[in-house]
Chain A
């Protein structure tokens, strides 16, 4: 071999050595980088053989599980709680069969006996021949989230219960109040019937006042019952022809002869529930009727299609509402004058039903001229 040839070989070797040195350096760097990522992952990482013996873990895994592979060897079975053994065994088998496990949730117990709720995503590592040799998994501690979810659920449950109790309570109270009221009504009427000769004009007048006050209280109790019964039933939606709904409502209302009600345009068929919609229109019409102070009362109903919702309007030529009170009228027990037939509940029932239908309700008025109540109902 010539010197030149030797020199070439030496150069090649040096070059290769240099390349190898660089590669090794790169490898060390990459390993360090990988290790840093591996150790600093927010989630725990575990690698284990197929029997569940843990081979590798990162720092978060130590924190979650309490075990440290550098101190002691441990097996997957040690961290499974007694109740979850069956579930975990089954999904471990599935993991080996399918090669992947997604969002598996389970309770585990740490080395110190603490129980945690975790979410696991796992996969299988295969050898060059495609045989499974190990399993790896990312474990996330979701105990806090689970606790919050549980708290939220139990709060919601409590809230629902409290609401139901409250409704039952309102129902019971207004109901129980009705009985003595009915009795007072009968008794005062009998006084009138049986002792009419003993009462003077003033006495009869007072007896009549008792009667009219009882009627007013009865109306209020009925209003409260109506208002409180609104939430208790589940809304079942079906097609309702508002035209025939109106006709049904008309037949149940006492409409004085001097008041005419006209429907300005063909009313639509809407999705809704009959019970609430009847109550809605009944209360709107009663409100309009009660407000009419003219010799000739006119109530007009109209409806326009606004795409996502229907916009209705009930217009009367009654005494109207001053601007400052336009918002107040939808609050419970809020009334603008103390007439016998007003309970202050009607329009709050309207508001409650419109709310259930994800709509809006507002009043527009010219005092002395009349009022327009506009409301929208979402198309379901």
Chain B
């Protein structure tokens, strides 16, 4: 269940970088957010390469990164390694959203340093619940805004 907080002040502004190559996945994500009443901005990138380019723009620095693993050009794991090597960016929490429950991927991601690993369920309702909980959780966190 979605936690309902009384005052808007308690919820932080989320500037989310969503790295996802599948257009319908992006639609799903936005649909969930539009019904959620959170204060947010979404920056979209189709793959790791695009995301790394976006992160070079100073005023675009997000305070939360959500990423898929299977992507063309630079995939999720490669992106994460790059992110965590960059002193200016490594503080940004990155949460993996994927359909792969492959143990190797899971372990690798946590080793590189992720803030969460969420399996995208098949059913949209379950997906909605997970994303809602995820974003509500991060809205309650103190985040670094640059």
Contact = CB atoms under 8 A, between A and B. Distances in A.
Contacts of A214: 122
Nearest to A183: B24
Nearest to A215: B122
Size bracket of the A interface: 10 to 19
Given A175-B70, A233-B103, A218 B122 contact: yes
B100 A175 contact: yes
B103 A189 contact: no
A172 to B, nearest CB: 9
A183 B25 contact: yes
A336 B68 CA distance: 38
Given A176-B70, A218-B122, A183 B22 contact: yes
Interface string A25-62: 00000000000000000000000000000000000000
A320 B125 CA distance: 36
B99 A182 contact: yes
A-B pairs, 6 with minimum CB distance:
A183-B24, A218-B122, A186-B124, A189-B124, A178-B99, A186-B28
Contact of A179 (B22, B124, B127): B22
B19 to A, nearest CB: 15
Interface in A166-206: 171, 175-176, 178-179, 181-183, 185-187, 189-190
Contacts of B99: 175, 178-179, 182
8 contacts: A175-B70, A175-B99, A178-B99, A179-B70, A182-B99, A183-B24, A186-B124, A189-B125
Interface residues of B, number: 17
Contacts of A175: 70, 99-100
Contact of A185 (B27, B70, B100, B123): B123
Majority SS at the chain A contact face: helix
Contacts of A186: 24, 27-28, 124, 127
Interface string B1-31: 0000000000000000000001011011001
Contacts of B53: none
Contacts of A176: 70
Contacts of A189: 124-125
Most B CB within 10 A of own CB, among A171, A182, A187, A215: A182
Interface in A304-350: none
B100 A182 contact: no
A187 B124 CA distance: 9
Interface string B111-137: 000000000101111010000000000
A187 B122 contact: no
Interface in B18-77: 22, 24-25, 27-28, 31, 70
A218 B99 CA distance: 11
B102 interface: yes
Contact of A182 (B31, B70, B103, B122): B122
Contacts of A215: 122-123
Contacts of B102: 171, 229
Contacts of B70: 175-176, 179
A285 to B, nearest CB: 20
